[in-house]
Structure 1
Amino acid sequence: CCGEVALPNRHHNETWYLCNCTIARCLENNTIEIVEVKCEPPPKIECANGHPPIAVPDDDLCCWHWECDCVCTGWGDPHYVTFDGTYYSYQGNCTYVLFEEIRQTVDNFGVYIDNYDCGAQDLVSCPRNIIVRHETQTIQIVVTDLEKLYLQVWRNWTESNRFCTPCNKFNNPFLTIPSNTSLTTLLLHKIPELQANVTYNGLAFSVKLPFRLFGHNTQGQCGTCTNNKTEDCRLPSGEIISNCEIMADAWAVEDPRKPYCGTSIKPTKPPAPTCEPSLLCSFINGPVFEACHKVLPPTHFYQACVFDSCHVPDGNMECISLQQYALMCAGLGVCIDWRSHAPECPFTCPSHKVYNACGPAMPKTLWKEKLQTFITEKFYYTADRKNS
C-alpha cells in the first residue's frame, strides 16, 4: 500500500503509533491518515483491599487505566491486612518475610519484620524492627526503647556506620528517611525508582508497592497482590492454602539472635475474645471516624481493637488500632482528629511544641520532597519558636 512513503513497508489499514498521541493509518494510493489517539474513560474497578483504585498512565502516556496498589499493614499484637485485604492475627515472635518477589526483577529487594513477645497475660507479640533490603544495602528501623518507643535507623548491621539519614548509595539517594528518629515519629523508607514506601512508627507498619511493578509477583506474610483474596495465603513452595495464620508461620527466616526460630515452630494462638470490648473500639465504627469509612472500611481495625482489648487488658493496646486506622485514612487524604475524643490515648508533646493531628509528616525545613498529600499526627514548635 504505502510503499516507500512510510518506511518500513506498511499494509492497507495497518496502524502504528507516531508521537504526541497520534496514530498513522495506511490508506490506499500511498496515502497515510494521521489521527489523534482518543481515550475513553475506563470503568472504575473495585480493589479487593478496600483502597480506592489509582489512575495509571498507559505505556504510550496518552490514555490511562485503573490499578489497585499493593498496600499491606500490620499493628498491635500483631494484626495483618495483606496486599489484597485479607485480615488475620499472628503471634509469632521470630523474624519473618513480609514481602519478597516471586520472580526476581529487582536485585535483593525485600521487607522483613522482627517480632517480640509483648503480652503479659496471653501469648501475643508485637513488631519491634522493620528491615528493608535493596541491592547491596540493608536498612533497619530499630526500636531502641520499647517503653518510650525511641527509634533509630541502622545501615548494614554494623556499629560503625549504622546511622544514616538519609541513606545514600554511590552518592545517589537510596532511601529517603525524613525523620529526626525521636519518640513516636513516623519513619518513611522511600525507594524512588521503585515507587515503594515502607513506614514504621514503633507500633505499626505499612508497605506500599505499585501494582504495575509488583502485581502478581509478591510473596510473604503480606500476600500475593493479585487483587484476589483467595490467593493471599501463599507458602514458600508456591502452594495456596486457606489459612493465612499457617502461611505466616512458614515465612520465618534465620536469625542468629533467635536460635529457637524456624518454620517448624507453631506459635500458640490465643483463644477468641470472649470479654466485653473496650468502649474505645466503638469509635472506629462510630461518627468519630465516619469520614474515614467512605475511603477505607473499618471492619479489620475494629476486629483488631476488640482482640487487643481482651488479650492485653489495661494496656491501652486498643489505641494502636485507632491510630493505625487514622493513619491509613490520612494517607488517603482524610484527617481524623480522634484523640480529642479518646483521652485514654494521649499524644504527649515536648513543652516547646504543640500537637497537630493533621500536619505534614515532616516540617518543610527538614524535608524538601513534595509529599504534601501525606499527612500524619505530629507535634510542632509553638508560636514563639517558629522562627528559631
Structure 2
Amino acid sequence: MIQSNAYCGLITDPSGPFQNCHAVVDPRSYFEDCQYDLCELHLNNAALCESLQAYADVCQTAGVQLAPWRNATFCPLACAANSHYEPCAAACPATCVDPTAPYNCSLPCVEGCVCDSGYLLYNDRCVPSQQCGCWHNGQHYPVGSEFWTDNTCSSKCTCPSRGSKVQCFNASCPAGQYCGVQNGKPVCLEHSYGICHVHGDPHYQTFDKVTHNFMGNCTYTLAKVCSNTTSLPYFNVEAKNEHRGSTQVSYVREVVVEVYGQRIVIVKQQMSHVLVRSGTLPVSAAGGAITVSRSGRYIVLETDFSLRVSYDADHSVEVKVPTTYFNLTCGMCGNFNNRRDDEYMMPNGQQAADSNALGESWQVPDSDPSCGVPVPSPPCSDEDEKLYGSDQFCGILTSRPSPFESCHGVINPQDYFDTCLYDLCALNGGQEFLCAALEAYADACQAAGVTLLPWRNATFCRELETACIVS
C-alpha cells in the first residue's frame, strides 16, 4: 500500500499541509483515489501531483486556507515570465483592464500563478504596469499598440502612454498590401491570388481547386463579380467553346473580358501570328487601366487592380483574381472562398447535381441556339486505360523520374493525370490531346515558379502560336 507521507499520505496527514481541510472535506475518498492512480501508473509523479491538486482545489473552493504544499522540487507549478506561484492567490487577478480586481473579489482564493510586483495581467501575459494603456470605444489597448479603427484601413490609432487618450490619424496599407480582416480585426495583408485554370476539352479547375469536366460548346461565364455591395471594379470573363473534329468534346475558341466598360475578345485563329485590330501588341485601353500583351505563347490581359486573364489561343485559359475579390465571384470558376463543398453553385444560388448541370446553368443567354452539351463518351476499356496511364502517355505526369518531377511537391499532378486519362479515353489517344494535358500541368507549375526540364522536342508536342485580338 502507498501510505507514505511522501505520497498519498500527505492528503490525510493530521499535521500535513491539508490538515485545516479535514474537518470540512473528508480526505478519505481523495486518498483512496490517489492510491489507486499511483498503483495503476506505477508511482507516476504527475499522477500524484494531480491527486493532491484535486483535494487542494476542493478545499479552497470550500473556503479553507491551506499551508503551502508545493515547492521548487515537489509538484512545482510552472509560471510564465514575470509571474510566480502562490498557494492562495486571488481568484480575480489584477489586470490592465481592472488593476483593483483582487480587492473587490468575493470568490475564495485559488492556487496559481500571480504577476510579480509592478506587473499586471494582459492577454494572458504579465506586462509592466506602465504598458497598460488606453481605452477606445470600450476596448483596452496597451501602451505603444496601434490599431485600425475601421474595416477599410483608412484610420489608425496609437496608445502613447498609460491612461492617455488614443491618438488617431489618416493612414492606409503599404504598397503591395490590401486591407483584410483576420480574427474579426482589420489588418494589412500581402496580396495573393486565386487561380482558375481551364484546359483541354475542357476541364475547369476552380479557384478552390475542384475540377469539373464539361464538354458544352456554347459560351459560358468563367468568373465575374457577383456581389452588389463591393466597391471594387466589376469584371466578367466568358469563354466560347467549339467542337474540333469530334462532337464529343469542345475547346475554348475565344475569351471575352468585360471591364471598365470595355469588351475585349481574344479569338483563336488558324495562323501562326497574332493580329490586333488596334495595333501591334502590347496595346492598352481605359486610359492605361487595361493592357494586353504577349507572354510566351499566351496573350495576357491585365488590369490596374491585378485581374489577369491569359489565353494561349488554343485550349488553355487562366483567370487570376486578387484576394481582394475573396468570396465575391461566381461562375464556372467558383466562389473563391476556400471552400470545396459549394463548387456547384448555379446563378440561382442552388447547388447543381453535376458538372453538366453546372455548366448549362452558366451558359450565356445569347449563345448560338445550335450549341449544347454532347452525349457522354463510352467508358475506356481496361486495356486502353492501362495504356494511356503508362509512362508513354499520361503516366509521365506522375512518374519518377520525369521532366515534371520537380513540380510534384508544389502542385499535386493527380488531377492533371485524371483529366489527361479522361481526354485520351474520350479521343482515342491522339497525341495532340496528350500534349494539351501535359501543357496544362507545365503551365500550372511554371506559374507557381517551378522550373521544369525540357519536355517538348521537334517531334513531340511541338509548340504552335495562333491568336487574334479584337478590342
Match for residue 455 of structure 2 among 339, 348, 357: 339
Match for residue 271 of structure 1 among 367, 378, 389: 378
Matched residue type, 1:132 = V
Following TM superposition, by how much is the alpha carbon of 1:316 offset from its aligned partner in structure 2, in angstroms? 2.1
- The root-mean-square deviation of aligned C-alpha atoms, in Å, is 3.7
Q: Which has the larger radius of gyration?
A: 2
Following TM superposition, by how much is the alpha carbon of 1:270 offset from its aligned partner in structure 2, in angstroms? 2.1
Following TM superposition, by how much is the alpha carbon of 1:228 offset from its aligned partner in structure 2, in angstroms? 0.8
Alignment of 1:368-383 (within 5 A): none
Matched residue type, 1:24 = C
Matched residue type, 1:191 = T
Rate the CA distance shift 1:10–1:345 in 2: closer, same or farther, 3 A.
closer
Aligned twin of 2:95: none
Q: Higher relative contact order at CA 8 Å, sep ≥6: structure 1 or structure 2?
A: 1
Match for residue 408 of structure 2 among 281, 293, 317: 293
Aligned twin of 2:362: 251
- Structure 1 residues not aligned, in runs of 5+: 1-5, 35-54, 155-160, 350-388
Aligned twin of 1:50: none
* Cα deviation 1:79-108 (Å, max 9, x = unaligned): 111111111211100001001122144455
Alignment of 1:297-336 (within 5 A): 297-312=412-427, 313-336=429-452
Alignment of 1:180-259 (within 5 A): 185-192=297-304, 194-202=305-313, 203-211=315-323, 213-255=324-366, 258-259=368-369
Would you say the 8 A contact 1:12–1:26 is kept in 2?
no
Q: State the TM-score, normalizing by the size of structure 1.
A: 0.67
SS of equivalent residue, structure 1 residue 233: coil
Following TM superposition, by how much is the alpha carbon of 1:260 offset from its aligned partner in structure 2, in angstroms? 2.5
Following TM superposition, by how much is the alpha carbon of 1:318 offset from its aligned partner in structure 2, in angstroms? 0.8
1:102 matches 2:253: no
Alignment of 1:46-57 (within 5 A): none
Matched residue type, 1:215 = F
Matched residue type, 1:74 = V
Match for residue 168 of structure 1 among 279, 282, 285: 285
| Cα distance in 2, alignment partners of residues 126 and 164 from structure 1 | 25
SS of equivalent residue, structure 1 residue 318: helix
Following TM superposition, by how much is the alpha carbon of 1:59 offset from its aligned partner in structure 2, in angstroms? 5.7
* Cα deviation 1:16-67 (Å, max 9, x = unaligned): 7389998315623x58799xxxxxxxxxxxxxxxxxxxx966569x976588
Matched residue type, 2:201 = D
Matched residue type, 1:199 = S
1:114 matches 2:240: yes
Match for residue 252 of structure 2 among 127, 143, 149: 127
Q: State the TM-score, normalizing by the size of structure 2.
A: 0.56
Would you say the 8 A contact 2:225–2:234 is kept in 1?
no
Would you say the 8 A contact 1:141–1:200 is kept in 2?
yes
Would you say the 8 A contact 1:141–1:153 is kept in 2?
no
**Which structure features the higher share of helix residues?**
2
1:27 matches 2:156: no
| Cα distance in 1, alignment partners of residues 272 and 463 from structure 2 | 12
Aligned length: 302
Would you say the 8 A contact 2:356–2:373 is kept in 1?
no
Match for residue 86 of structure 1 among 205, 210, 235: 210
Aligned twin of 2:72: none
Matched residue type, 1:252 = Q
1:141 matches 2:266: yes
Would you say the 8 A contact 2:254–2:268 is kept in 1?
yes
SS of equivalent residue, structure 1 residue 254: coil
Divergent runs of 4+, >6 A: 6-12, 18-22, 31-34
